[in-house]
């Protein structure tokens, strides 16, 4: 499957919510919209064309190492060139730091689970050069955090869909009996096609741990991408990324529901205005990165 996803990473200045340090970090300024042909895996995440794209969703403070979704760092008007830069950390490791920051700051296990799963997906987005060891560690971390989150009865949200995700994580970890038991618990409230749940349970039964790409039909059913935004002319336009384009829709909604603002339009426009004074950005597409590496 040919992936035509384009994205654009820019530098921006932000303020650390923990220690108030101002620093420059990469952020995902643009990502082409999801279409039925976008690669989406059965654990309900859109495969991004480069780990840098997902890593740009989190920021790490160079002063106190606090790491969290970039949207929780307020933008600052300083030109990114003039402030210290975020530490250079390997893309997927930023998510491990974020899980640690979450534990230190008392964030809920579900918030940490979302970050752990993004770390897992980021580790996989290295493609052929993905480290099996790193992927396995993130699978275990995702299991720990998501299992802890689901053990807490106090929160509301699409618990059935998270049960499905935990089942998928168990399957990929080779814990087939647990996976099958969890797939059995997934009900209609998950809002997932029965076909998908049965397909993944069948793979667990066959003791198959491999990640699975969804068919365009399943992508259509689960994500219902808007037809008009699949047109190349709009893909080329530089527009701010919406959380649903970068994150998986359900997870993005969950973050919003949990009070973690994902980059809002008005905020993003402010950033764009500030950056007009300092047009330092790098246009990155999957093709240029493949050529460079
Ligand atoms: Zn800080």
Write out pLDDT tens, residues 213-267: 999 999 999 988 765 444 443 333 334 444 444 555 556 666 666 665 544 333 3
Ligand 1 center–CA 59 separation, angstroms: 10
Query: How do residues 149-183 score in pLDDT, each as one tens digit?
Result: 999 999 988 999 999 999 999 999 999 999 999 99
Sign of CA dihedral 160, 161, 162, 164: positive
Ligand 1 center–CA 260 separation, angstroms: 18
Q: What is the pTM of this model?
A: 0.80
Ligand 1 center–CA 62 separation, angstroms: 7
- By the CB criterion, residues less than 5 angstroms from ion ligand 1 are 16, 18-19, 21, 61, 63-64, 66
Ligand 1 center–CA 244 separation, angstroms: 27
More confident residue, 274 or 101: 101
Ligand 1 center–CA 188 separation, angstroms: 42
The per-residue pLDDT for 5 is 83
Ligand 1 center–CA 67 separation, angstroms: 8
- Structural contact between residues 115 and 46, judged by C-beta atoms closer than 8 angstroms: no
Task: Give me the phi and psi of 259, to 5 degrees please.
Answer: 80, 15
* Helical ranges in 73-215 per DSSP H: 93-104, 109-124, 132-151, 159-173, 176-185, 194-205
């Amino acid at each position: 499957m040919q992936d035509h996803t384009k994205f654009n990473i820019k530098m921006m200045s932000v303020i650390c919510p923990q220690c108030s340090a101002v620093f420059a970090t990469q952020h995902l300024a643009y990502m082409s919209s999801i279409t039925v042909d976008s690669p989406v895996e059965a654990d309900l995440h859109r495969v991004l064309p480069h780990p840098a794209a997902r890593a740009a969703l989190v920021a790490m403070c160079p002063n106190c190492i606090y790491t969290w979704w970039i949207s929780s760092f307020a933008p600052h008007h300083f030109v990114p060139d003039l402030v210290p830069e975020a530490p250079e950390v390997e893309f997927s490791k930023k998510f491990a730091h974020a899980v640690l920051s979450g534990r230190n700051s008392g964030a809920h296990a579900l918030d940490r689970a979302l970050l752990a799963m993004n770390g897992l997906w980021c580790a996989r987005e290295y493609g052929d050069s993905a480290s099996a060891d790193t992927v396995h560690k993130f699978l275990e971390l995702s299991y720990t955090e998501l299992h802890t989150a689901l053990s807490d009865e106090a929160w509301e949200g699409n618990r059935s869909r998270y049960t499905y995700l935990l089942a998928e994580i168990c399957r990929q970890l080779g814990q087939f009996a647990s996976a099958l038991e969890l797939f059995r618990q997934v009900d209609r409230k998950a809002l997932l096609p029965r076909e998908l749940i049965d397909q993944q349970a069948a793979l667990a039964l066959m003791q198959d741990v491999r990640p699975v790409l969804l068919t365009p039909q399943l992508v259509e059913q689960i994500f219902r991408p808007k037809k008009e935004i699949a047109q190349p002319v709009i893909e080329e336009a530089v527009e701010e990324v919406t959380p649903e384009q970068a994150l998986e829709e359900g997870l993005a909604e969950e973050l919003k529901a949990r009070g973690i603002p994902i980059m809002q339009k008005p905020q993003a426009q402010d950033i764009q205005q500030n950056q007009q004074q300092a047009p330092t950005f790098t246009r990155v597409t999957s093709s240029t990165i493949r050529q460079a590496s």
